[in-house]
Amino acid sequence: MSLALYLGSYLVQAAEDMPWTPAGVLHRRFLGWVRAADPSTPAVQQRSTATVRAEPSREAPEQAR
């Protein structure tokens, strides 16, 4: 995602440097590789910062069978 933002800034610069070039051509060249967003997923995905133990604690009591 950050690469798309980075290239988006270059798209703006290219549009200023080459005003005769159609915007659609520049968009396809700089950002055409970005997939269309799926409406069922949020635009920005949050990553959890919570930590999860890989193994149960040895100090935890065993469950009765």
- Rounded to 5 degrees, what are φ and ψ at 55? -130, 150
Check if the beta carbon of residue 26 is closer than 8 Å to that of residue 14.
yes
Residue 29 DSSP SS3: helix
Query: Tell me, what's the pLDDT at 19?
Result: 93
Residue length, the chain? 65
- Rounded to 5 degrees, what are φ and ψ at 14? -65, -40
> Could you read off the pLDDT of 7-59 as tens digits, one per residue?
999 999 999 999 999 988 998 888 888 876 555 655 555 555 555 555 555 55
Taking CA atoms, 50 is separated from 30, 44, 46, 56, 59, in Å, by 36, 18, 12, 16, 21
